[in-house]
């Protein structure tokens, strides 16, 4: 793995490039890791992956726990790992135990032996040795060490224990590692800045290729998150990449980038797509004034539209004017509305293509702002624009509704 920082804004936000695996070109950061189920996006088939912007879409994140059922580890290893199994030789795979959709951390069932997860095949306790066996057979380009993630409301004692376990498991993962992949040391600490900093300082002492910041998206408020992020990134070396899970909304992505994070997961796109929503927010953060009739039938909050709404039954315009994704160039709101209402999976395929394309464009606009030295202005303008236009006439929209 090769990583280099290319430009800094007038804060900790930075752009860089990362070269991994067989990806033909370096990928610019900050970047989006496409969430997958067993290595493939939830609704986009391999033949449609090239329709997404390249090489921005060549970063795929998966959870090794997805493979607790299915092909045996020996079979996957004999094929040559996940890239050969899926035939995606020019894509980069990043493995993280936690999957914000299917493999959720269960702190009450974790113990000194391993981390517990709620998975599609039940609750599973994963020990470091089992986790490294999964990694060794799949051979990802990047993998995060096993972490004991806890939500924001646990006791100080439990939080401290999670840090001690995570550091100890990192040592075990490093000792057991026999892959050629880059290991990212996991950093946790819940809502305690001192514990997060203690964990980061311990992980920095280890021989790792980067850092995976865990424990976010588990109950902390958006207002207290910047201080928690800064407590970690302030002590991390600048020359190594930082990856994070649990930040999905545009405002959360901007918070992470402002703290110096380079790689983000995309479970937010999955939730939007499953709910029939399409992203429409302007990439420059300046929302256009639209008549309130556009909000009929809960169809829009001026950041996304609900294509299940009757408002779009006869709408022959594309999802978003000016968007050049496959869905917008070839189909209309009316067609996707029809597909959603008759429960055709093609609706989710087209929506995931559009939402992924739009979010990759969002990251591209952020990189451009950092290179121009205007990230802070971009961040402020984007958040103010969203704050002014997110509220519906009847009531404020909640975080849960945003990712419904």
> Which bin fits 277, alpha (ψ -120 to 50), beta or left (φ > 0)?
beta
104, containing H or E segment: strand 104-105
Q: For residue 174, give the DSSP letter.
A: H
Binding-site residues for Zn(2+), in ranges, read 323, 325, 328, 354
340, containing H or E segment: helix 333-341
Whose tokens are 């290991």? That residue is: 183
Own/partner contacts of 173-179, CB < 8 Å, gap of 24 or more, are 173/128, 173/131, 173/132, 173/145, 173/146, 174/145, 174/206, 174/207, 174/208, 176/128, 176/129, 176/132, 177/132, 177/135, 178/132, 178/136, 179/135, 179/136, 179/139, 179/140, 179/143
CA 56-91-354 angle, to 5 degrees, is 45
Return d(Cα 252, Cα 230) in angstroms, integer: 14
Per the CB < 8 A criterion, the answer to whether 243 and 256 are in contact is: no
Nearest C-alpha neighbor of 328 from the set 354, 361, 305: 354
32, containing H or E segment: strand 31-32
Nearest C-alpha neighbor of 52 from the set 282, 328, 321, 318: 328
> Which bin fits 38, alpha (ψ -120 to 50), beta or left (φ > 0)?
left
Binding-site residues, in ranges, read 323, 325, 328, 354
Per-residue CA distances from 361 to 56, 224, 278, 365, 366 (Å): 9, 28, 14, 6, 9
Per the CB < 8 A criterion, the answer to whether 181 and 135 are in contact is: yes
């Amino acid at each position: 793995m090769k990583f280099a920082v290319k430009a800094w804004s007038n804060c900790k936000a930075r752009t860089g490039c990362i070269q991994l695996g067989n990806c033909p070109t370096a990928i610019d950061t900050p970047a989006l890791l496409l969430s997958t189920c067993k290595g493939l996006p939830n609704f986009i088939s391999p033949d449609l992956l090239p329709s997404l912007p390249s090489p921005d879409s060549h970063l795929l994140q998966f959870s090794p726990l997805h493979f607790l059922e299915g092909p045996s580890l020996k079979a996957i290893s004999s094929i040559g790992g996940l890239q050969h199994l899926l035939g995606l030789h020019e894509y980069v795979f990043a493995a993280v135990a936690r999957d914000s959709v299917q493999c959720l951390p269960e702190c009450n069932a974790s113990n000194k032996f391993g981390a517990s997860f709620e998975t599609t095949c039940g609750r599973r306790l994963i020990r470091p040795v089992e986790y490294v066996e999964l990694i060794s057979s799949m051979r990802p380009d990047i993998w995060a060490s096993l972490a004991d993630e806890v939500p924001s409301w646990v006791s100080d004692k439990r939080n401290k224990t999670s840090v001690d376990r995570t550091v100890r498991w990192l040592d075990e993962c490093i000792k057991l590692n026999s892959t050629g992949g880059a290991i990212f040391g996991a950093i946790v600490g819940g809502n305690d800045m001192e514990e997060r900093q203690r964990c980061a300082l311990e992980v920095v002492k280890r021989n790792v290729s980067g850092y995976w910041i865990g424990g976010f998206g588990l109950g902390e408020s958006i207002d207290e998150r910047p201080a928690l992020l800064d407590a970690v990134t302030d002590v991390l070396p600048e020359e190594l990449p930082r990856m994070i899970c649990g930040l999905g909304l545009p405002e959360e992505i901007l918070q992470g980038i402002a703290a110096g994070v380079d790689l983000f997961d995309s479970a937010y796109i999955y939730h939007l797509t499953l709910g029939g929503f399409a992203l429409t927010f302007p990439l420059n953060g300046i929302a256009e004034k639209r008549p309130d009739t556009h909000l009929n039938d809960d169809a829009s909050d001026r950041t996304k539209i609900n294509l299940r709404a009757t408002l779009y039954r006869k709408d022959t315009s594309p999802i978003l004017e000016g968007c050049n994704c496959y869905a917008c160039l070839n189909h209309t709101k009316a067609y996707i509305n029809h597909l959603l209402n008759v429960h055709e999976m093609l609706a989710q395929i087209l929506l995931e293509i559009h939402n992924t394309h739009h979010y990759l464009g969002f990251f591209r606009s952020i990189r451009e702002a950092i290179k121009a030295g205007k990230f802070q202005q971009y961040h402020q303008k984007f958040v103010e624009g969203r704050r002014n236009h997110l509220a519906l006439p009847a009531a404020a929209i909640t975080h849960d509704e945003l990712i419904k």
